[in-house]
Amino acid sequence: MKRRDFIKGAGAGAVLAGAAATPLVQAAPQFKWKMVTTWPKNFPGMGTGANHLAKLIEEMSGGRIEVKVYGAGELVPAFEIFDAVSRGTAEMGHGASYYWKGKSEAAQFFAAVPFGMTAQEMNAWLYHGGGMALWEEVYKPFGLIPTAAINTGVQMGGWFNKEINSVADLKGLKMRIPGLGGEVLQRLGGTPVNLPGGEIYQALQSGNIDAVEWVGPYNDLAFGLHKAAKFYYYPGWHEPGTVLECFINEKAFKALPKDLQTIVLTACKAANMDGLSEFTARNNEALHTLVTRHKVQLKKFPDDVLRQLKVTSDVVVAEIAAKDPVSKKVYESFVKFRDQVVAWHDVSERAFLNARAGG
């Protein structure tokens, strides 16, 4: 039984002793909000996550807030949602902060950093390590309040038609890999290619590109990428725990009474938990399907390739810090937290996972 069904079931069968005292439950919405997203409508994990978040806010508010979700391009194009929410065309936006590096370089630290932090570590930094306050500072000039609203967990290294046996094999590699990961590949002699989602499959199958990173087994299986490539490489060094965000127009937020403000922020936090759990469970199932049914060949990047990718990643990420004082401040907080949590997870998460795997 899904949690959502459970809630419904419990509500339907309940003796609503308090109902008479809560007339607002049946009232017309006082706040009609729009949520614009960077995802195609109902895109698995991301788009559906945005839908669930909207529904959760509506349910907790007893219908006082209505949140209508728009897929990419329905109200504004995907990469214009930041501006749209900033100017109040919509009250909420659902995307990923690395899309907004043109607004602020520092924004990239709140989505995914090559060899950065896992989902659990990112959430610890955000909620209890000073990260949220920094993110708020970065979005404040745009009149936006950020929240973490989903996490994909560690992504996959990507689909390859060329084997990677050494660092030299990255030279000349044409790969669909955006953002900081693409920058790292370029420094090592590869050619990062940006392609719209709709052209990726064909480019990989035709040999126009050698490799593609997309998300992880859940999304990759749905996309059919296993039919266009020989090898499925791991780990996703470039996106170890990608935070998807829900940002809110500050004026719209402040116009809410306090209980609804807390409801909106708490719904995002619960959605963050739910989204990571969903990705973990669905990736788990999809990988099983890919390996057992589609006979996909899993391959680990060689250790020396990973070491070089890490060295280059650290250089690329440090360069962001040099761009402006806010980026420097965020970088320093991020790296300090990461380096310390690495030491903790070396004796906890990592040590346990290795012990469970047999040594």
Residues between 182 and 241 with contacts to a copy of itself, criterion CB under 8 A: 216-217, 234-237, 240
Span from 96-104, 125-133, 184-192, 327-335 in contact with a copy of itself (CB under 8 A): 125-133
Cβ closest to a copy of itself, residue 75 vs residue 125 = 125
**Is residue 153 part of the contact set for a copy of itself (CB under 8 A)?**
yes
**Is residue 166 part of the contact set for a copy of itself (CB under 8 A)?**
no
Peptide bond into 146 cis (omega under 30): no
Measured from the CB of residue 127, what is the shortest distance to a copy of itself in angstroms?
4
The helix (run of H) or strand (run of E) holding residue 259 is helix 258-292
Span from 69-77, 89-97, 200-208, 275-283 in contact with a copy of itself (CB under 8 A): 275-283
Q: Which amino acid is at 231?
A: F
Measured from the CB of residue 103, what is the shortest distance to a copy of itself in angstroms?
21
| Site mask for a copy of itself (CB under 8 A), range 21-60, x = bound | xx-xx----xx------------------------x--xx
Measured from the CB of residue 294, what is the shortest distance to a copy of itself in angstroms?
15
237 DSSP assignment: T
159 - beta bridge partners?
A: 212, 232
Rounded Cα distance between 153 and 174, Å, is 25
One residue of 35, 112, 156, 330 binding a copy of itself per CB under 8 A:
156
Cβ closest to a copy of itself, residue 195 vs residue 306 = 306
Q: CA quadruple 85, 89, 93, 97: dihedral positive or negative?
A: negative
One residue of 1, 102, 196, 198 binding a copy of itself per CB under 8 A:
1
Q: How many residues does the chain have?
A: 359
Closest residue by Cα to residue 99 from 200, 244, 201, 227: 244
Q: Which amino acid is at 323?
A: K
Rounded Cα distance between 145 and 200, Å, is 33
One residue of 36, 145, 170, 185 binding a copy of itself per CB under 8 A:
145
Rounded Cα distance between 308 and 237, Å, is 11
Measured from the CB of residue 196, what is the shortest distance to a copy of itself in angstroms?
26
B/e letters for 62-91, b = 16+ CB within 10 Å, e = fewer, are bebbbbbbbbbeebbeeebbbebbbeebbb
One residue of 78, 103, 132, 326 binding a copy of itself per CB under 8 A:
132
| Site mask for a copy of itself (CB under 8 A), range 305-344, x = bound | -xx--x--------------------------x--xxxxx
